[in-house]
Chains A and B, each alone.
Chain A
Amino acid sequence: MFSGTTRSLVGASKRLWTPISIRSLSTPNQPSAPSTKTSTTAPQIKAEPTPTSATSPTSAASTPVKESAAPEKAPVKEWLVEPWRSLTTLLTVLVLMILLQYSRSDRLADLEKNARLPRSVQALYLRPLRRKAEHGLPVCDLQLRSYSAENLEFFADFAIRAAYYLKLPVSGPVPLPRITQRWTVIRSNFVHKKSKENFERITLRRLIQIKDGHPEAVQAWLAFLRKHAFYGVGMKANVWEHESLDAGKALDASLPEIQKTVGPHLAQFGQREDNKRPGTIFDALDNARHAEPKNL
């Protein structure tokens, strides 16, 4: 279950290299686009750099040489195809192109040699890191529910990573049994009772358990997940808090504060002003209107 997501993410990491190289290599070609717009050789020039970038993104040193060689071929063909274009303008464009290409390819090489993804970003392409639980005391059960497995897996992964950075030991995601609901309805809006159609809705569930984390950290984690709630994924959390053995003393100490907070609510209780009568409720019950006849 979990390997599936990691595999796909690893695939994404491999793919990640190509967009970078394509973008950076295709930008030098952009100035050449107006000059080669009408020529037939344009697809050839553009096609050359991309396979090299796809096969060897790291060997950036070899690519600028090829690129510089490619535009040299281009003007010759263009010259043959479009004889009306003046040679001087072509040459200036060529020089500009080469200059631009060199500077950009150098920059690219530097980038690929020296720069790397930040560790936190790189970690996204690896299996999520986890803290080790010291005592294994469950503190919070988070249940994720969704109709789509992709969203659910993604968000479970996100929740586990968030828990790691909040230093919360986490176990899961445990795939809980699916909830399948089925409905059979008559196909038509009127009569034809024998022709029916079946529909179903499968709710997928994942359980993520936090172990011996600080209650505030757990609350922060839950708030973070709520803030970044993913579409189509529902959340339900059971939180347990643990008290020390002398909880009674703490309760006694906090009593005056609680009384203060409860005060305004308690002030609401009592009889209504317009309903006040002299005497107690027993007086009211004993009077003639409520008196039960004794020989009934």
Chain B
Amino acid sequence: MSKAASMFHPKRLDLSGFVNTRVIRDHNKRNAFAQMEPERQALRYIIRNTSLPQRTRAQAQLQLSQMHCYTRPTQVKNRCVASGTARSVFRDFRLNRFQFRMQALAGELPGVKKASW
């Protein structure tokens, strides 16, 4: 299997909102993972199944390790949809902390208010 990440690039940019090289890369990783997940799971199953012959399991191990790194779930990282930042992104809003604050103060996030207690 070729190691080029370009195999996962879409022909046309299928993203909207804030777009960035890193955002596109993460998007490609997500697509690659989604596409190859059944195969990964099948190989994982073969590796863990002790009733299968050792040779098959070893081959499966090899195949799994040779799969492209983009197909790994650990490659996926949540990114802010408004700024593309990868740090301190709230899962609830898919926003970076600073973007969250700006939008909350602007009243763009329904129900979010300044709290004081």
Contact of B110 among A181, A232, A290 (CB under 8 A): A232
Q: Judging by beta carbons under 8 Å apart, are B111 and A203 in contact?
A: yes
Residues of the A chain whose Cβ atoms lie less than 8 Å from the Cβ of B55 = 289-290, 292
Q: Judging by beta carbons under 8 Å apart, are B114 and A147 in contact?
A: no
Q: Judging by beta carbons under 8 Å apart, are A198 and B101 in contact?
A: no
Residues of the A chain whose Cβ atoms lie less than 8 Å from the Cβ of B112 = 183, 199-201
- Measured in the bound complex, the distance between the Cα atoms of B101 and A135 in whole Å is 52
- The contact size tier of chain A is 20 to 34
Expressed in whole angstroms, the minimum distance between the Cβ of B18 and any Cβ of chain A is 15
Contact of A185 among B97, B109, B110, B113 (CB under 8 A): B97
Q: Judging by beta carbons under 8 Å apart, are A199 and B53 in contact?
A: no
Q: Judging by beta carbons under 8 Å apart, are A186 and B113 in contact?
A: no
Q: Judging by beta carbons under 8 Å apart, are B111 and A147 in contact?
A: yes
Expressed in whole angstroms, the minimum distance between the Cβ of A192 and any Cβ of chain B is 11
Contact of A197 among B53, B56, B110, B114 (CB under 8 A): B114
Residues of chain A in range 237-295 having any CB-CB distance to chain B below 8 Å = 285, 289-292
What 0/1 pattern do residues 85 to 97 of A give for CB contact below 8 A with B? Answer: 0000000000000
Residues of the A chain whose Cβ atoms lie less than 8 Å from the Cβ of B33 = none
- Measured in the bound complex, the distance between the Cα atoms of B111 and A148 in whole Å is 8
Contact of B56 among A198, A290, A296 (CB under 8 A): A290
Residues of the B chain whose Cβ atoms lie less than 8 Å from the Cβ of A232 = 110
- Measured in the bound complex, the distance between the Cα atoms of B100 and A291 in whole Å is 59
Expressed in whole angstroms, the minimum distance between the Cβ of B23 and any Cβ of chain A is 18
Expressed in whole angstroms, the minimum distance between the Cβ of B55 and any Cβ of chain A is 7
Q: Judging by beta carbons under 8 Å apart, are B101 and A187 in contact?
A: yes
Q: Is A116 an interface residue (CB 8 A)?
A: no
Residues of chain A in range 168-215 having any CB-CB distance to chain B below 8 Å = 181-183, 185-189, 197-203
19 A-B residue pairings within 8 Å (CB atoms): A182-B115, A183-B100, A185-B100, A185-B101, A186-B98, A198-B114, A198-B116, A199-B100, A199-B115, A200-B112, A200-B115, A201-B111, A203-B111, A285-B53, A289-B55, A290-B53, A290-B55, A290-B56, A291-B53
Q: What 4 A-B pairs come out closest when comparing CB atoms? A: A147-B111, A200-B115, A198-B115, A189-B98
Q: Which residues of B contact A (CB under 8 A)?
A: 53-56, 90, 92, 97-98, 100-101, 104, 109-116
